[in-house]
């Protein structure tokens, strides 16, 4: 997050647009005056829309997680799968929060039928008071931000979102990483990557794209074949998500921009920025 934040120009005062908002971590930490947060996953959009509208508050989240957390501790994985089944039937935003926080590694994944299919994290005491308070604080941070800033949430395809951008806006794209993670909600293949390239290439506004560059085993072929016409910045990142330790490896991340980005890259600056984000109860996962 500090790296991405350092790339945003100081004079930026347009609209921050995300076609792949996901959990909203980037937009909520950038905290622009105006933002359009979009995703094809309706459950994420429904959750944050409910927070914005006041249907979900920190108090409601605390009561809900305390109640369901107690049942989880009593019944174990049976309760998790009951809530997961209930969510796949009724799509309630609070149930979505529960299964995401009690699922394996906090992952979000759906099968081809649109059903959430992440297994239980195997921690029946998952919702300790400290953990519940952490989640409540995250919801509080987002709730307060949405009271002060002009954030709009929409469920729609990325092409439609990018086309809405005007010259003073910045489009931040964090699509599923091509040839790596394509089962987030809807698939991502070569046609999608090329479509994203073409729609961004036609826009006069600035854009920032997060993707992967290479790891110890292979490289992202689309960097050379398409994205190399733009500015590319790289740095190593270690992934903690994986079924076993052998699958948790470092990778070279890439940020692609159509403008020159003077980044602050010293370790000390990153530590300072990270501290500020944590002090502001930044949302890293919801």
Please give the Cα distance from 242 to 154 (Å, whole number): 30
Write the DSSP string, 221-286: HHHHHTGGGSEEEEEEEE---SSSGGG--EEEEEEEESS-------HHHHHHHHHHHHHTT--S--
Q: What is the mean pLDDT of the chain?
A: 88
Looking at residue 12, what DSSP letter applies? -
pLDDT under 70 in the chain at which residues?
Answer: 180-187, 238-249, 262-286
Specify the pLDDT at position 266.
39
Contact 21, 43 (CB under 8 A): no
pLDDT of residue 251: 83
**Order of strands across the sheet that contains 170-173:** 150-155, 34-39, 15-18, 170-173, 206-214, 250-257, 231-238
Structure confidence at residue 269 (pLDDT): 45
pLDDT of residue 218: 85
Q: Residue 262: its pLDDT value, please?
A: 64
- Per-residue pLDDT of 23-53, as tens digits, reads 999 999 999 999 999 999 999 999 999 999 9
pLDDT over 70 percentage in the chain? 84
Structure confidence at residue 178 (pLDDT)? 79
pTM of the model: 0.84
Closest listed residue to residue 221, CA positions, set 195, 254, 246: 254
Three-state DSSP state, 40: coil
Give residue 263's pLDDT: 52
pLDDT in the model for residue 166: 97
Q: What is the pLDDT of residue 281?
A: 40
pLDDT, position 16:
98
């Amino acid at each position: 997050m500090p790296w991405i934040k350092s790339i945003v120009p100081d004079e930026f005062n347009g609209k921050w647009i995300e076609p792949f908002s996901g959990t909203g971590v980037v937009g909520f930490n950038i905290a622009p005056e105006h933002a359009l947060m979009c995703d094809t996953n309706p459950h994420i959009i429904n959750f944050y829309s409910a927070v914005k509208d006041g249907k979900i508050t920190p108090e409601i989240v605390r009561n809900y997680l305390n109640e369901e957390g107690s049942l989880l501790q009593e019944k174990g994985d049976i309760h998790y799968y009951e809530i997961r089944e209930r969510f796949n039937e009724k799509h309630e935003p609070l149930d979505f929060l529960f299964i995401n926080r009690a699922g394996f590694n906090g992952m979000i994944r759906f099968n081809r039928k649109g059903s959430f299919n992440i297994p239980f994290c195997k921690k029946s005491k998952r919702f300790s008071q400290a953990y519940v308070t952490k989640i409540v604080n995250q919801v509080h941070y987002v709730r307060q931000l949405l009271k002060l800033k002009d954030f709009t949430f929409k469920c729609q395809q990325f092409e439609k979102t990018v086309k809405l951008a005007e010259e003073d806006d910045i489009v931040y794209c964090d699509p599923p990483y091509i040839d790596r993670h394509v089962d987030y909600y809807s698939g991502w293949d070569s046609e999608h990557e090329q479509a994203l390239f073409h729609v961004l290439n036609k826009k006069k506004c600035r854009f920032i794209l997060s993707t992967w560059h290479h790891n110890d085993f292979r490289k992202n072929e689309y960097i050379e074949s398409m994205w190399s016409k733009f500015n590319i910045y790289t740095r190593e990142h270690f992934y903690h998500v994986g079924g076993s330790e052998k699958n948790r490896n470092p990778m070279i991340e890439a940020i692609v921009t159509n403008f020159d980005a003077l980044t602050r890259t010293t370790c000390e600056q990153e530590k300072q920025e990270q501290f500020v984000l944590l002090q502001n109860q930044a949302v890293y996962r919801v």
